Structure 1
């Protein structure tokens, strides 16, 4: 059985990745801060799909916890075939008003932890083969405070790594959803429907994960689920930052 390691697996897209991969009979290593929620998800997946599920309770803003997860990723005796860098959280868009320590944690989780885990995965995957999925966002194509900057880094680095390590049979895909129905918004204090975002722009987490896994299997460097967000992402590349930053002040992606 292939084995997938998923960060931020206790809710939202991470939990959906776990469900869809378990349905495909992949064994799982689930990483998140909440031991109780991880245990509940693991019990459900073991019962319904009969897969092996290993749990790692870790806060990826902490260097020692990242090192523990990286050590598991780099374990060649029980190799990881698919790494899903999904852990993340949002902050208010007004950078100057935010606590700088929160901003540093935000950067560590989205960028540094993903980079370290990718580095660990490549030590095992090169030559053997494997897939890496970095959960980014269409926010990475527009100007939107530090969240946009972090997601843009994931997109750019995934494009390069996918081309660079194709010769080693490793694919790297940045999955870039738009507004998606998950618990992310609720944790930010903004239940879906209260962000001023039109209903037609909302995506279903099941569709996002299904398309992301498909594009990763096809070796694509970037996956933008749905035609409407593919078009919006293309517009974001050519419109001036002064325009996109104004539009991006509403909602969360």
Structure 2
């Protein structure tokens, strides 16, 4: 990830993606910003240009739309305007049970959080390996180690995929890093109409701190980055505990406040997701 290189960030207008964009701008990296809302993209681009005197390109795209996704992939394949860092951050909470839920929403989430990550990583790494340099940062979640619905399944795929990609890229000059945060203060919860007051402030991490940890991990070539000691401890427990215990403690039938939503996991409420 060379200084004054270019980074493409999906889900760039809010949350972790927004903080990563600002951190990269502070480091004088040029940016390609991807999100659905063109107005928000343009407003953010203007702020970043004014604050950091960098080049900022906006690329409005709904990553669940295959034609829009293909446009982003083509941008990553560009040899004239190479992208040095891809950040796959876009994602959202389903806030529904799988059984009886809207299958269209399930398919849309799969497209954004799995298919888009695969397609964009393929486009980026093909161009990067040819140049002998570059990096991919994929945003997963501590939820990847739980059984909290299809969101957890999507994030588990992202984690395993990134680890596999990192192994395949060894020796090429290109790296792959997966970010696995826990509860992060972002718009993720308000957009999903989730309560945040069921968990103490100590459980939350600031999005800027998460972004800083993620980019530090990319710089040192780390494969898995889990910000904060407490979430590294939670992750260790989830990896080592019997899966029956994990299903009981961090699954959709769990009683009490859900680590994913901050709301009681009643039979019709679900416990679908940790923030990306």
Q: TM-score range by the shorter chain?
A: over 0.9
Aligned residue number for residue 203 of structure 2? 201
1:169 to 155, 159, 173: 173
Conserved? CA contact 1:181–1:192, under 8 Å? no
**Equivalences for residues 233-252 of structure 1 within 5 A:** 233-248=235-250, 249=252, 250=258, 251=261, 252=273
Q: In structure 2, how many angstroms separate the alpha carbons of the residues matched to 1:241 and 1:65?
A: 38
What is the DSSP-based 3-state SS (H/G/I as helix, E as strand, rest coil) of the residue aligned with 1:31?
Answer: strand
Aligned residue number for residue 269 of structure 2? none
| Two-structure CA RMSD over aligned residues (Å) | 1.2
**Equivalences for residues 1-253 of structure 1 within 5 A:** 1-126=4-129, 127-193=131-197, 196-248=198-250, 249=252, 250=258, 251=261, 252-253=273-274
Conserved? CA contact 1:13–1:205, under 8 Å? yes
Conserved? CA contact 1:107–1:150, under 8 Å? yes
Q: Which stretch of the first structure deviates more once superposed, 9-18 or 88-97? A: 88-97
Conserved? CA contact 1:136–1:155, under 8 Å? yes
Q: In structure 2, how many angstroms separate the alpha carbons of the residues matched to 1:100 and 1:239?
A: 31
The one-character-per-residue Cα deviations of 1:30-80 (angstroms, maximum 9, x if unpaired) are 000001111111111000100100000000001001000000011011100
Structure 2: 5+ residue stretches without partners: 253-257, 262-272
Higher relative contact order (CA 8 A, sep 6+): 2
* More helix per residue: 1
Conserved? CA contact 1:46–1:53, under 8 Å? yes
Q: Which stretch of the first structure deviates more once superposed, 146-155 or 238-247? A: 238-247
The CA deviation at 1:191 is: 4.6
Q: In structure 1, how many angstroms separate the alpha carbons of the residues matched to 2:246 and 2:185?
A: 22
